[in-house]
């Protein structure tokens, strides 16, 4: 995937600017004010229009009404909900939020969704879907204020910090992202690699993940992962050691530390990189949310490296998303006797993943053609590698432990006596053989 152009420095949204976009005390639509004020404003066409250009929004980005609508949608709809994605695409965030809050969808949209479901033979109960959205509605101003109080900022499509590669997810594109950290998310992900793998990783797996991440970071590549135990945690720590940003993609709110033992790790990531999530503040992880989250890990980066994965592993789910998005997919081989590497071997055998054994090979795949080529691996160069065929045959014909005459050497090497003598002289000059009383013999250092 080609890197998005860097915007001008003035276009990068600061934390203060995003905080002002969330509203300040004493202004219209104050997020700290009574619940319902901002929501009513979003529902009202005139007020919504007035808010679109309110001070504090990201320059050239979505207006305040759209941001609040997206915050509400992030609470009402589960992340990755393709139906909601299509609703937003047709009616915009504010129009989609209105329909979702009422629990009643436009008849034309409902008819199109029914036709789509019939064609795919995947029936969907849109009435129940819409009712679930309406039941989960809460004041978006409260979520915006809570996120700001806990150090997170809201980044939505159209913001200068939005990673445009997420648009490749189509209808399943995130409605928005909560970002907690010093790094600019878009800039950090321009040159990035996802490193994923098993939670129950072996020492081999965690060592490889940490070394790869540290080497990638040293080359200016951001490491993206899920912050879990095992491979994820090792990758983040390796990236932190290199001094470059790393991005943790959570399956819960950015204010929820999961796993709890990674509190110190996440704190360090916030200082050097970013912790991001599609879920609102206070949301807790579920098994399904981990799988949904994986598509973002795959979409944010130029390629995904699976370090270790069992035959049934969440890392393989991330690999499937990367494959479907036409991102580079790589896998690290492991011992064939280790179950935790079985998934990597399957990916390689199926031709979906490229086998990688060094960070340079990763950069060669995800980098620019011709600029990031990995050096060709070669074995050690030995002195006898430079000998021509005849000289090598003469050398091989000399016994290792005893001396022999030139005639016997010539017969064993299959050359005439003149050639044998010429080769023996050259070998002696190069230090391979020596002439003693009983003939020619190998020097000790040439016996290896």
Domain ranges of the chain: 15-147, 181-366, 383-446
Whether the pLDDT of residue 8 is over 90: the answer is no
- The model's pLDDT over 310-344, given as tens digits with 9 standing for 90+, comes to 998 889 999 999 999 999 999 999 999 999 999 99
Lowest mean pLDDT among 262-276, 292-306, 328-342, 411-425: 411-425
Distance CA 213, CA 227 (A): 13
pLDDT grade for 435, boundaries at 50, 70 and 90: confident
Whether the pLDDT of residue 391 is over 70: the answer is yes
Distance CA 245, CA 131 (A): 41
Q: Around 366, how many Cα atoms within 13 Å sit in the side-chain half-sphere?
A: 32
Whether the pLDDT of residue 373 is over 60: the answer is no
pLDDT above 70 covers what percent of the chain? 83
Dihedral sign for Cα atoms in the order 302, 308, 310, 313: negative
Whether the pLDDT of residue 115 is over 80: the answer is yes
Nearest to 334 by CA among 196, 195, 201: 201
- The model's pLDDT over 12-60, given as tens digits with 9 standing for 90+, comes to 333 333 333 333 333 333 333 333 344 444 444 333 333 333 333 465 6
pLDDT of residue 155: 97
* Reported CATH class of domain 181-366: alpha beta
Contact 161, 184 (CB under 8 A): yes
Tokens standing for 38?
């901002």
Dihedral sign for Cα atoms in the order 15, 16, 20, 25: positive
- The mean pLDDT value of the chain amounts to 85
Distance CA 393, CA 64 (A): 82
Assign a CATH topology to domain 383-446. Arc Repressor Mutant, subunit A (1.10.10)
Q: 């009643």: which residue's tokens?
A: 104
Choose between 228 and 33: higher pLDDT.
228
pLDDT of residue 35: 35
Count of C-beta atoms within a 10 Å radius of residue 200: 14
pLDDT of residue 125: 84
Whether the pLDDT of residue 254 is over 60: the answer is yes
- The model's pLDDT over 139-198, given as tens digits with 9 standing for 90+, comes to 999 999 999 999 999 999 999 999 999 999 999 999 999 999 999 999 999 999 999 999
């Amino acid at each position: 995937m080609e890197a998005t152009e860097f915007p001008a420095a003035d276009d990068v949204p600061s934390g203060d600017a995003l905080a002002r976009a969330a509203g300040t005390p004493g202004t219209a639509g104050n997020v700290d004010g009574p619940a319902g004020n901002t929501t009513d404003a979003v529902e009202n066409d005139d007020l919504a229009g007035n808010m679109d250009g309110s001070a504090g929004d990201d320059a050239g980005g979505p207006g305040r009404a759209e941001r609040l609508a997206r915050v509400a949608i992030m609470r009402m709809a589960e992340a990755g909900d393709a139906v909601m994605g299509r609703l937003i695409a047709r009616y915009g965030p504010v129009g989609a939020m209105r329909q979702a809050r009422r629990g009643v969808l436009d008849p034309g949209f409902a008819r199109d969704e029914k036709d789509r479901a019939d064609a795919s033979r995947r029936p969907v109960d849109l009435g129940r879907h819409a009712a679930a959205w309406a039941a989960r509605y809460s004041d978006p101003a409260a979520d915006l204020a809570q996120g700001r109080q806990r150090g997170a900022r809201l980044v939505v499509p159209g913001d200068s910090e939005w990673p445009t590669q997420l648009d490749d997810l189509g209808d399943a594109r995130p409605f928005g992202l909560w970002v907690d950290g010093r790094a600019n998310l878009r800039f950090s992900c321009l040159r990035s690699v996802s490193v994923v793998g098993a939670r129950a990783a072996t020492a081999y797996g965690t060592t490889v993940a940490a070394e790869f991440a540290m080497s990638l970071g040293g080359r200016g590549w951001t490491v993206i992962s899920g912050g879990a135990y095992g491979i994820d945690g090792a990758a983040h720590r390796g990236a932190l050691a290199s001094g470059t940003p790393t991005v943790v993609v959570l399956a819960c709110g950015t204010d929820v530390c999961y796993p709890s033992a990674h509190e110190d790790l996440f704190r360090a990531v916030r200082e050097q990189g970013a912790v991001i999530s599609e879920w609102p503040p206070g949301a807790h992880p579920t098994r399904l949310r981990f799988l949904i989250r994986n598509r973002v890990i795959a979409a944010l980066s130029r390629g995904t490296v699976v370090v270790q994965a069992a035959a049934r592993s969440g890392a393989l789910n991330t690999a499937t998303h990367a494959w479907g998005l036409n991102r580079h997919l790589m896998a690290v081989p492991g011992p064939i006797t280790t179950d935790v590497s079985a998934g990597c071997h399957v990916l390689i055998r199926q031709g979906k993943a490229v086998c990688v054994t060094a960070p340079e090979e990763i950069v060669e795949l995800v980098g620019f053609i011709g600029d990031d080529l990995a050096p060709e691996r070669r074995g050690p160069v030995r002195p006898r590698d430079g000998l021509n065929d005849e000289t090598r045959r003469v050398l091989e014909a000399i016994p290792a432990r005893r001396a022999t005459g030139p005639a016997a050497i010539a017969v064993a090497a299959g050359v005439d006596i003149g050639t044998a003598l010429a080769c023996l002289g050259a070998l002696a000059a190069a230090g391979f053989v020596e002439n003693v009383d009983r003939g020619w013999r190998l020097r000790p250092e040439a016996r290896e």
